[in-house]
Amino acid sequence: MTDNASKPTRPLAMASVRRQKWRNIYRHELAFPKGTIFADLDKPWNPSEARILRQSGGNAK
């Protein structure tokens, strides 16, 4: 017998991801440590900007 009460009725999360154009591609030796093959997605991480976005509800200027 299965317990249907424990099964979610809605998805836990949904993602919307745009297709990337295959340009400005890192060589694999550089891409692996950076965590992306797309140079256009390689942005610096600034925790203070993340805090501002979170506080503004994602509508930072």
User: For 16-32, what is the mean pLDDT?
Assistant: 89
Tracing tokens 């297709």 back to the chain, one arrives at: 19
pLDDT for 24 equals: 92
Handedness of CA 55, 56, 57, 59 (dihedral sign): negative
Q: What mean pLDDT comes out for the span 4-29?
A: 83
Pair 51, 37: CB distance under 8 Å:
no
Pick the residue with more confidence: 47 or 35?
35
Q: What is the DSSP letter of 59?
A: -
**Percentage above 70 pLDDT, the chain:** 69
Q: Which amino acid is it at 61?
A: K
